[in-house]
Structure formats: structure tokens, C-alpha cells
Structure 1
Amino acid sequence: MTAKKPLTVLAAVLKAHGAYCGCTGACGKEHTGRKCMAGITGKPIRLTAAPYPPHATDGQNAAAPVSELRPWCGPCWKRALESERERVADRRRRELEEGQISLFDVVQGATA
């Protein structure tokens, strides 16, 4: 009797969600039918398992539980990850600016 091989993480994600890109617009591109057509059109495409939506850091993405993972094509994953990182960087920049203003008790728009 041979033991059944356990599924890889990618195989488990593909089995649960299908063998096509699961992006529904997180990449910033408007997909036909609200779904990326990569993998559906019949042309083979490489997919990866990654969280949906993506997290800003590689550590957060690597630590995401399997339940958060979806199949992604390379172009959608790259655009979605860049978009999330830009969003987080913008939020941090605004928080830093607000913190610095209150640190020096400067009134915006006032001239010396």
C-alpha cells in the first residue's frame, strides 16, 4: 500500500479555487466579467498562490493562512502588490506628516 502524496500549497489552492487567476480587480485593471481571463482562455499560464487581497510586506504575504490564498497570474499579482505597497506607503507618509505638525505645534498656513 502506497501513501497518498500530500498536496502542495499551490495544488490545494488550485483545487479549491480553480486553475485560473482569481483576481477580480485588485490589480487595478478592469477585467472582462469582473474576472481575469488568464488561464481561462485555454493558453497555459503560470499561477502562484498568494493572499487576496495582497499584504504590503513579503513577510505578511508568506505568513498568510491557506484560507486567504488565491491563484494569481504574474501580471495581476505584480500590479496588485505594487498598488497595495503604494497605498500603505501613502498612508504612512500622511501619518508621519500629521505627527510632525503636531510635534512642532505649527499652524498650517501661518506665516512668520
Structure 2
Amino acid sequence: MTGRIPPLAGAELWQAVMRAAAGRCQCRGACGKSHAKSGGRCDLVHGGYVRHSGGGTVHLIAAPADPAALLLPPHKVAALPRSALVAWCGPCFDHARTTARRACEQAATDEPDALFGT
């Protein structure tokens, strides 16, 4: 785990997720990108460099594997088991969460209004 500095809280869980991910973002397109150049999986590694999205050092986070679960409140995410978590880079996490939020908002607007429905 050289070069990987764990977060202050939940370090053991974060390290377990990073070990399972081999220190690489596990996004396979939930962010809207195909990641075709890297075999269908994001190629950003913890401690590496992001050339896009403003640049800078990559800091992977452990977050829900299911993009819909990215919308859960923090206390519910903290209660998820290790098996429900994967490693996300910042750009993939942000885009996947935005996509999930938009899908949720779209589903809510597609439902008929109970007060004014027929």
C-alpha cells in the first residue's frame, strides 16, 4: 500500500476496498464514459495524476458500487458492508452521482401527481 494515505475515519474499510481494487478506480461506465482506451474500466490510480477535470493528484474514495446508492445520505452509506463498496476517482464519482440524481429527478417527474391525477 505504498503511497496510499487512508482517510482519518474508516481506514481499515478504505484499505480493504483499495486492495480489492488494486488502487485503481473501478468505474466501468457509470460516469457516462466508456473507458474504452483502458479496457472498459477507468485507468486512474490512487496517487496518480488527473490530466482532465482540473488536473491534480488522484484520491480514490470508497463509495457504493450501485450508482443509485450514491444518493443515499452519508449515515446510510457508512452502514453499507464492504461488499457493497468500490473505489471511485473524483471525476467518475461526481459524474455517476450526477447521472443518478438526474435519473431520480426524471423518474419523479414522470409519476402522476396524486393530488391532481385522475
Give the shorter-chain TM-score range: 0.7 to 0.9
Alpha-carbon distance in structure 1 between the residues aligned to 2:72 and 2:21: 24
1:37-76 superposed matches below 5 A: 37-39=43-45, 43=49, 45-54=58-67, 55=69, 56-59=71-74, 60-76=76-92
Normalising by the residue count of structure 2, what TM-score does the alignment of the two structures yield? Answer: 0.69
Say whether residues 1:99 and 2:106 are aligned partners: no
Name the TM-score, length of structure 1 as normaliser. 0.72
Sequence identity percentage: 34
Say how many residue pairs are matched. 96
Alpha-carbon shift at residue 35 of structure 1 (Å): 0.6
Residues 28 and 100 (structure 1 numbering): CA distance in 2 closer, same or farther, change over 3 Å?
farther
* Bigger radius of gyration among the two: 1
Q: Which has the higher helix share?
A: 1
Structure 1, 72-81 or 62-71: larger mean CA deviation? 62-71
| Displacement after TM superposition at 1:45 (Å) | 2.0
- Counterpart of 1:35, as a letter, is R
Counterparts of 1:83 and 1:18, CA distance in 2? 26
Go from structure 1 to structure 2 and tell me whether the alpha carbon gap of 1:90 and 1:62 turns closer, same or farther (over 3 Å shift).
farther
Q: CA deviation at 1:101?
A: 5.0
- The aligned counterpart of 1:89 is 105
Aligned residue type for 1:25: G
* Partner SS state of residue 78, structure 2: helix
- Alignment partner, residue 6 of structure 2: none
Unaligned runs of 5+ in 2: 1-10, 50-56
Deviating beyond 4 angstroms after TM superposition, the runs of 4 or more aligned structure 1 residues are none
